[in-house]
Amino acid sequence: MTTDLLRQMNIDIETARQKASFSAKDMSTVIYGHEMVLDIANKLRDLLNNEPLAAKAGTEFLDHLGQEKELSDVEVQALSFVSDLSSPLTLHFAAFIAVIEAQGTEEQAAKWVDAANKLAIMGCYAQTELGHGSNVQGLRTTATYDRNTDEFLIHSPDLTAAKWWIGGLGLAATHCVCQAQLIIDGKNFGPHIFIVPVRSTKDRKPIKGVTVGEIGPKAYGGFNTVDNGFAMFDQVRIPRDNMLMRFAKVTNTGEYTKPVHNKLSYGSMVKLRVGMIAEAGMKLGRAATIATRYTTVRRQFHGDAPNKDGLEKQVISYSSVQHRLMPLISLAYAMVFAGQTIALDFQEMNRKLMNQDASMLPDIHLATCALKVWCTRRSTDGQEECRKAMGGHGYSIFSGIGQIFATAVPSNTYEGDNYVLAQQVGRGLLKHLGTIAKGGKVNNGSCSYMNYLASADATSPVPLDNAMAKAILDPQVQEHIFGLRAARLVADLGQQLKSGRAWSDVNMECWHIAFAHAEYTLLTQFHKKIQSLSADDKIVEPVRRLANLFALTQICHFNTAPFLTTGAIRVADMGAIQSVYRELIAGVAQDAVAYTDAFHFSDNELNSALGAYDGRAYERLWEAVQANPLNTDQGRKDIDECLLKILHEGENKKIAAKL
């Protein structure tokens, strides 16, 4: 199949790399935060590339591979992330062990975590219920204390209380950390976390009183390797010390000690949301890498000015493709950077919680809710846009984007439905609005923009006339505009409620507020990443270019109406801002291959015939199709036997012979 056109595809991708204005390797270090982290990621990628079981068709190999290669717990979790393959034990490490370490006493951690790390027990995180997905307060599973036996009785009062969608519960788990309503002497103390056995470690049969199983295939064929399950409990008895008691406690006399914050039992969900932020960025990065490489080597039409060499134009050179893909690259970078920062903040919050200091919890909860909503929505929408930008071939499973989307899209609803979480963001920010109304000041950094409502310029937009259009590239101006928009949206929500609108009627206002809060946070974290780089580093300007594109993408593409209706930007300034936006897109497009190469994804990770590093898309697609079982001699034989019965039915054979 070697022709001039096929050779040209490799030439095109290598030419794009050679003309880049910066080193993709240097940018990789920025993305991963430290050269050591990049080295670890590369170590794991090499391990996967050389492991036959690690093909994308593999399933539960990761956990065994981790033991065989003596990887640390962190490396095993990173291995799952790098491979983009989940297993029945993904949440065993990411949630079951993590929740016990965070919510259990030192004695409880010593008892359970070592056994879990050795896989002597296998766990999962059982919160979601069939009839109460995102409503933690409304969970129906109960844990009633029995003084006579010093035990809790775990019970599902009806079908709606069945634990559902629980990753790892369907087949693998022997235990779960279970969210259940704590009942003592008939009084409900709200949801708390309990370690509940579901299957015997001796023969794997369900524990007496437990009904457990697998819920079946998921949409789009996603999460095929995860055994999402269900469980119902019929007065299942567990020891009192199976309740995780680092914060809330129950004595053997039934006395209850409340935690320092009533939302501490939600900490496990916060942790999972923290991980989802950078993960959403990397998944979008995968899709953008595939689409960028393919549109670089794909040539179609001659355009207004035919190339002198007679070749058709590279698809990535078309404005419509650049406007669709380049902003998505900036979004992916923004998510990764914010994910790194929020992970550090979460670690600091945990250190304080160990000393009974819950001061950071409300803000981290607010930030992770908003960022989870924004990142999962923008990432999955962006993945689909990448697929469409690739034209017809993007719909082939061999493009690789379909599988990325299939595993990413449920993130919009798990760990809290996005629209429900948006309401929590709105409710949290209204508290800060109350502080401003009383003449106070919001000292919280991520919400400090609320102080704009008390300043002299609270009712006026940031001035940006045509002569000052470049001011839109000033980080302080950008943060002012984004903060002003967010603050005024919160103020408007307050006015709506004050005028008599019911809380249930302002869901969409909360949605816009959640996005505004997330975008302010993402932008400020992008700017902090730039400030952390050496001023003379050659990588600073390429990163700044992406930060500017991220900011203007929100203004010119996604959120023009909210910026204008809040008065954060004047209509008269939009023309000049749009012009700068177009310049940024064209500038990023010149380095698109380098920006996406910097994610450092291996061909094995991408699993894409169209987005491989060498750019030989058509040859790889041809090879993938030839491997289709239907194209083998046996496959054709089986199909022919079926179709010949139709072709030769009745007079058909004679009719066909005359044609």
Specify binding-site residues for FAD.
128, 167
How far apart, in whole angstroms, are the C-alpha atoms of residue 517 and residue 361? 17
Cα-based torsion angle of the residue sequence 214, 220, 221, 225 in order, rounded to the nearest 10 degrees: -70
Structure tokens, 87? 């297993």
How many Cβ atoms sit within 10 Å of the Cβ of residue 157? Answer: 12
User: Alpha-carbon distance 514 to 622, whole Å?
Assistant: 45
**Beta bridge partner(s), residue 211:** 232
What token pair was written down for 291? 């689409």
Active site residue 35: no
Neighbour tally for 303: CB within 10 Å: 12
Query: Under a CB-based contact definition with an 8 Å cutoff, are residues 385 and 328 in contact?
Result: yes
C-alpha–C-alpha distance, residues 32 and 265, integer Å: 31
Neighbours of 641 (CB within 10 A): 9
Q: Tokens representing 374?
A: 């924004």
Q: Which amino acid is at 499?
A: S
Place of tokens 């992008």: 526
Whole-angstrom CA distances from 181 to 145, 152, 159, 220 are 11, 11, 16, 34
- Here the tokens at position 134 are 């995102």
CA distance 334 to 521: 10
Provide the token pair at 80: 């799952």
Q: How far apart are CA 497 and CA 5, in angstroms?
A: 63
- Separation CA 593–CA 584 (nearest Å): 16
Which of 75, 279, 385, 415 is flagged as catalytic? 415
Q: Which residue in 238, 207, 122 sits closest to 172, CA to CA?
A: 122
| CA–CA dist 385, 382 (Å, integer) | 5
Q: Which amino acid makes up residue 445? A: G
Question: Residue 11 is encoded by which pair of tokens?
Answer: 């030439």
Instruction: Write the DSSP string, 628-644.
Output: SGGGSHHHHHHHHHHHH
Give the angle subtended at the CA of 432 by the CAs of 426 and 437, to the nearest 5°: 120
Long-range contacts (CB closer than 8 Å, 24 or more residues apart) made by 453-456:
453/487, 453/488, 453/490, 453/491
Q: Report yes or no: 74 and 152 within 8 Å, Cβ to Cβ.
A: no
Annotated binding site: 128, 167
Alpha-carbon distance 103 to 192, whole Å?
A: 10
Provide the annotated active-site residues: 415
